[in-house]
């Protein structure tokens, strides 16, 4: 017993010392500041969106609500084409040399523009060959301009201007425009509701209008940090090195996007839009945590890019992520026991089937949090090709499990498949991150890259 008490006290002392040193660090204060801004922005904007989408779900019902998220999920699969890792490549290089931010942003603009148009063409072309209803195909085509506008999904020109804020580490501007977009969206939706014209089409119109208005505002404001000189000609000599890096970032992000979005598409194909509605309602609760994770990851990335090989940094990063993950596990456990009350209170009795899904999908949050260490370690050490293994295997596993589980268990099967896939991704990325870090420390750069 005395040994156990001493061990606990020793751990407590180490934890207090670590947190004291970590919080005193200027780097940590900047990370915490940026994460806080993004988290607040996400919480406020997603909080507003959360409640308006609850209202929308109650009006539309599970089937139409499922149709809406099927549309957004399908378009999101093509969103990565609009950037294909350019944001992360520019962020990594721009964070090291802020003096070149104008050059990076101006010379990459035409590439982003052409990629965005290409994504729209692919979306509208491929949709005709998939087993969607005619109505759903038409709505997907109507919603496709969001790929160039961005905003509600990370895509297009919206991400181009957001990259400026990330490079200069002014995350509060990103948070502010998230809130502005959502307020405009809510205002337009309320107009449709007041005229009793709310349906999937009107929600898409509100989405496009709010995103476009916010894009213009974001562009005008970001000129404070970048002197934009838009040119439609691509400077290949300048862009080639960045495109090489961005290709591997983009390919990994594409695989990760497919893993996260394929469940809804396969649910629609193998089951029904109603099951998609149940799944989307549960995911709408989980996504609140995902937004915090994205904010934390983006805030950590510039510092990780500069410091990943500095003695002690990776260990501090792992401890920080582990502490937050532990807290998220407690929240997830509470959610499991209260899932029915949460779903019924928010979405109503018609969505009661979403409660069981929430009990499963909520564990995505701690898994995704713990994944930050391995993923960022590989990204910052330029081990992008090796990192792909962490996405290819879970993707194959997820699709295979969906084919097997969805016909038997509908949305429950999709949720189980998704969590299993993410668990495998966590294990693989953590293992690879550790191996690559040790190799880098020993000078094995050529072998890795």
pLDDT in tens, 411-447: 999 999 999 999 999 999 999 888 888 777 666 444 3
- Can you tell me the distance from the alpha carbon of 336 to that of 333, in angstroms, rounded to the nearest whole number? 5
Quote the CA–CA distance of 344 and 57 in Å, as a whole number: 12
Q: Residue 196: its pLDDT value, please?
A: 87
96 has pLDDT over 60: no
> 446 lies in a domain?
no
Question: Would you say 305 and 317 are in contact if contact means Cβ atoms under 8 Å apart?
Answer: no
pLDDT band, residue 85 (cuts 50/70/90): low
Cα–Cα dist 370/257, whole Å: 18
Residue 217 has pLDDT above 70, yes or no: yes
Domain count, the chain: 1
Is there a contact between 194 and 55 (Cβ–Cβ < 8 Å)?
A: no
Query: What's the pLDDT at 437?
Result: 82
The pTM for the full model equals 0.75
In three-state secondary structure terms, 396 is helix
Residue 124 lies in a domain: yes
* Domain boundaries, position 387: 2-441
Q: What is the pLDDT of residues 18-58, one digit of tens each?
A: 444 444 455 555 555 555 665 566 667 777 877 888 889 99
Measured between alpha carbons, how far is 71 from 56 in angstroms, rounded to an integer?
Answer: 15
Q: Is 449 part of any domain?
A: no
Q: Is the pLDDT of residue 397 over 50?
A: yes
Q: Lowest-confidence range among 124-128, 155-159, 355-359, 407-411?
A: 155-159
Give the per-residue pLDDT at 32: 54
447 domain-assigned: no
Please give the share of the chain, as a percent, with pLDDT higher than 90: 41
Residue 76 lies in a domain: yes
pLDDT at residue 115 in the model: 87
The answer to whether residue 385 is domain-embedded is: yes
Report the pLDDT value the prediction gives residue 80, as an integer from 0 to 100: 79
Give the model confidence (pLDDT) of 295-328 as tens digits.
677 677 777 777 777 878 888 888 989 999 999 9
In a domain, 182, yes or no: yes
Q: Is residue 320 part of a domain?
A: yes
Mean residue pLDDT of the chain comes to 81
Angle at 188 between CA 184 and CA 194, to 5 degrees: 140
* Tokens linked to 25: 């660090």
Q: Could you give the CA distance from residue 316 to residue 303 in angstroms, rounded to a whole number?
A: 12
In 3-state terms, what secondary structure has residue 272? coil
- Report how far residue 36's alpha carbon sits from residue 38's, in angstroms, rounded to the nearest whole number: 5
Those residues with Cβ within 8 angstroms of residue 196's Cβ, 6 or more apart along the chain or in another chain: none
pLDDT in tens, 241-267: 777 767 777 777 778 778 888 899 999
| Rounded percentage of the chain residues whose pLDDT exceeds 70 | 82
Cα gap 63→69, rounded to integer Å: 10
Between CA 137 and CA 351 the distance in angstroms is 25
Q: Is pLDDT above 70 for 4?
A: no
């Amino acid at each position: 017993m005395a040994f156990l008490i001493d061990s606990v006290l020793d751990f407590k002392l180490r934890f207090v010392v670590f947190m004291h040193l970590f919080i005193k660090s200027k780097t940590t204060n900047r990370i915490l500041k940026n994460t806080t801004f993004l988290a607040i922005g996400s919480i406020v904007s997603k909080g507003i969106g959360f409640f308006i989408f609850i209202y929308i779900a109650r009006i539309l019902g599970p089937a139409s609500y499922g149709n809406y998220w099927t549309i957004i999920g399908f378009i999101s699969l093509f969103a990565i084409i609009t950037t294909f890792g350019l944001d992360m490549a520019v962020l990594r290089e721009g964070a090291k040399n802020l003096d070149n931010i104008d050059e990076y942003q101006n010379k990459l603009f035409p590439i982003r523009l052409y990629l965005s148009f290409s994504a729209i063409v692919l979306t509208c072309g491929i949709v005709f060959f998939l087993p969607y209803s005619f109505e759903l195909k038409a709505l997907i085509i109507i919603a496709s301009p969001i790929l160039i506008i961005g905003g509600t999904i990370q895509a297009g020109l919206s991400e181009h201007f957001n990259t400026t804020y990330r490079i200069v580490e002014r995350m509060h501007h990103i948070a502010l425009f998230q809130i502005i977009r959502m307020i405009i969206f809510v205002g337009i939706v309320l107009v449709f509701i007041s005229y009793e014209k709310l349906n999937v089409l009107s929600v898409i119109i509100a989405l496009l209008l709010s995103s476009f208005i916010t894009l213009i505002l974001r562009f005008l404001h970001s000129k404070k940090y970048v002197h934009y000189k838009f040119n439609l000609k691509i400077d290949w000599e300048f862009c080639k090195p960045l495109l090489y890096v961005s290709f591997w970032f983009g390919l990994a992000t594409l695989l990760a996007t497919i893993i996260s979005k394929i469940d809804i598409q396969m649910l629609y194909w193998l089951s029904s839009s109603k099951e998609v509605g149940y799944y989307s309602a549960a995911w709408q609760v989980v996504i609140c945590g995902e937004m915090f994770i994205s904010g934390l990851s983006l805030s950590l990335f510039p510092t990780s890019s500069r410091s990943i090989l500095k003695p002690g940094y990776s260990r501090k990063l792992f401890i920080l992520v582990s502490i937050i993950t532990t807290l998220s596990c407690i929240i997830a456990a509470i959610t499991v026991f209260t899932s029915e009350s949460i779903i019924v209170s928010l979405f109503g009795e018609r969505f009661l089937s979403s409660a069981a899904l929430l009990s499963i999908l909520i564990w995505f949050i701690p898994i995704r949090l713990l994944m930050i260490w391995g993923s960022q370690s590989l990204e910052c050490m330029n081990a992008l090709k090796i990192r792909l293994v962490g996405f290819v295997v879970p993707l194959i596993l997820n699709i295979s499990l969906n084919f097997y589980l969805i016909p038997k268990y509908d949305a429950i099967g999709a949720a189980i498949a998704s969590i299993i896939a993410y668990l495998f991704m966590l294990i693989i990325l953590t293992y690879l991150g550790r191996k690559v870090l040790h190799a880098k420390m020993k000078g094995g750069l050529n072998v890795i890259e």
